[in-house]
Amino acid sequence: MASNKKWWKNSICYQIYPRSFCDSNGDGIGDIPGIISKLHYLKELGVDIIWLCPVYPSPNHDNGYDISDYTAINPEFGTMDDMDKLISRAKRLGIKIIMDLVINHTSDEHEWFKRALAGDEEYKDFYYFRKGNGNKKPNNWKSFFGGDAWQKVGDDEYYLHLFSEHQPDLNWHNPKVYEKVSEIMRFWLDKGIYGFRCDVINIIYKQSLEDGATNNGLVGMEHYLNTEGCHELLARFNKEIWSKYKTFVVGETVAVTPEDMQLLCSEHRGELDLGFFFEHMDVDSRGSKWYKKKYYPNCLIKILDKWQNSVDYTANYLENHDQIRSVNHFGDTEKFWRESATMLCGMNLSLKGMPFIYQGQEIGMTNGDFTSIEELRDVESYNAEREMAQKGIIKCIRRKLVLNTSRDNARTPMQWDNSEKAGFTDGEPWLKINSNKSFINVEAEQNDENSVLNFYRKMIDYRRNSKALTEGTYRKVAGPRDVYIFTREAPEERLYVYCNMTSNVKEVEFYGDTIVFGNYKKENRTEKYLLPYEFRIVKSNI
């Protein structure tokens, strides 16, 4: 039972989006037996921890992030037996599973909410039911998914939903909510999982329900972002539950600054272990993620450097199930697909902190090749399109804006092989498979020594054996614009890491003595230049 402090520190975490990972029974939907069948693949890749996105029963208005039963398995994904098998098989391979914990809201089909809607006062107090003011909603807050954050249910009565109307927010002022959620956490920890990825955890506690100010398209954030009440809740979870088990808890912490993160993850306060920040994801967004501006690698470098310097240990990620693919975002999918995918791998695994890899990233998967909005499935995309239409944006522009940023870009089925359904399913996949499965797929890359996949394997292995990369200090080194150079240093190992974040050749001054790692072949490297998207690690004789 004892907590083994920081056992997770040198681990690599792999994120699985079950619906799109591997389908075992031909219904077109990835499932738990499918994941079990790929555990050896993950072991070979070098994964230590799996973050499993929601597998609980859900009406799927938001693909499992609307949970209707927290202690059961969605039949689409399998049975509780399958889940137990997954936990124990993974354990046997030395892989620990953490689960997604979505406790800002439940599904509107959760038993608690159904009772609340039926008028049961005890359960109404699990949520935020409020009277309106005549024709006005209880406050002016907006939903993350567009529109107002209040849904009308009866005579001038509303409930709060910071996400879709099918995701009513839980009332964390109610001690019964704390009790119920504690039971849920213990249920899974007792089953042998090793912690949680906590969905939008820093907005769960609403300090007040007053009208709020506008901030990046959202309204009211100052009343629920990183509130004192939230810090208190996290410290209590940690003290009463998480610390009693061997756990790793990473929070999805939206709209945070490095200062907020230090508070949420500081060791002496005992709240979260790590948190995901978003500043680098928004490097090219113009206020809202749907409206993009040009991406400047230099801006990305500045953001990453700031976080490296101001937070002890960061959760390093370049993509997830809510973001576009990193090679589309920060690389080049046309001319330098392999080079940019491997450079991004090298960078993400060389920074100080814990690396997260999102399924498919390790083979360089790209955004979906959707041609129309009708091919998408994500609720957020449809809401965004509706809002754009209301603003008068014409159809072909709406299509372009939505397809560029839709979360479904990262949710297309995993490309296992070159067959018609990419080895993902025998049936009709729930979301369109990218046609580049013909050359971007696990099977082909397994057999190619120079593939993105084999680069990931080698880089993971290199990192595992390097004290400098896992435990060393970080320091940025001056270099040309759009080239990220930094050192990682442990007592007997100093490494210089070079990342050319552009498709241009860059002249750089190389420090250190021996090139120990890189994404270009020896014979193609030069002494004075970094080639397009070149990545190198140079070791110094100290």
Q: Which of the choices Ca ion, ligand TEU, none does residue 375 contact, using the CB cut-off of 5 to 8 A by kind?
A: none
CB of 364 to ligand TEU, least distance (A): 22
Tokens found for residue 395? 């159809």
* Residue 176 burial (CB count, 10 A): 13
Q: Which residue(s) pair with 517 in the sheet? A: 537
Say if residue 72 is exposed, middle or buried (CB neighbours under 10 Å; 0-12, 13-18, 19+). Answer: middle
Tokens found for residue 46? 């070098």
Residues with a catalytic annotation lie at: 199, 252
Work out whether 102 is an interface residue with ligand TEU (CB under 6 A).
Answer: yes
Work out whether 65 is an interface residue with ligand TEU (CB under 6 A).
Answer: yes
CB of 155 to Ca ion, least distance (A): 44
**Residues in 205-244 that interact with ligand TEU by CB under 6 A:** none
Q: Are strands 506-507 and 529-530 parallel, antiparallel or unpaired?
A: antiparallel
Work out whether 322 is an interface residue with ligand TEU (CB under 6 A).
Answer: yes
The smaller minimum CB distance to Ca ion, of residues 83 and 345, is found at 83
Residue 489's identity, in one-letter code, is E
Q: Which residue(s) pair with 288 in the sheet? A: 286
Number of residues located near ligand TEU, criterion CB under 6 A: 14
Work out whether 289 is an interface residue with ligand TEU (CB under 6 A).
Answer: yes
**Residues in 397-416 that interact with ligand TEU by CB under 6 A:** 407
Work out whether 41 is an interface residue with ligand TEU (CB under 6 A).
Answer: no
Work out whether 82 is an interface residue with Ca ion (CB under 5 A).
Answer: no
Q: Which of the choices Ca ion, ligand TEU, none does residue 29 contact, using the CB cut-off of 5 to 8 A by kind?
A: Ca ion
Residue 159's identity, in one-letter code, is Y
The smaller minimum CB distance to ligand TEU, of residues 205 and 336, is found at 205
Q: Is 84 left (phi over 0), alpha (psi -120 to 50) or beta?
A: alpha
Q: Are strands 248-252 and 195-198 parallel, antiparallel or unpaired?
A: parallel
**Residues in 12-31 that interact with Ca ion by CB under 5 A:** 23, 25, 27, 29, 31
Q: Which of the choices Ca ion, ligand TEU, none does residue 27 contact, using the CB cut-off of 5 to 8 A by kind?
A: Ca ion
Nearest-10 crossing angle of helices 258-265, 297-310: 40
Element (H, E) at 497: strand 493-500
Report the C-alpha gap between 56 and 341 in whole angstroms: 33
**Residues in 125-184 that interact with ligand TEU by CB under 6 A:** 144, 163
Work out whether 493 is an interface residue with Ca ion (CB under 5 A).
Answer: no
**Residues in 338-397 that interact with ligand TEU by CB under 6 A:** 380
Work out whether 199 is an interface residue with Ca ion (CB under 5 A).
Answer: no
Element (H, E) at 80: helix 80-92
* Residue 56 burial (CB count, 10 A): 22
**Residues in 244-283 that interact with ligand TEU by CB under 6 A:** 252, 254
Tokens found for residue 116? 């609340």
Binding footprint of Ca ion on the chain (CB under 5 A): 23, 25, 27, 29, 31
Residue ranges that bind ligand TEU, judged by CB under 6 A = 62, 65, 102, 144, 163, 199-200, 252, 254, 289, 321-322, 380, 407
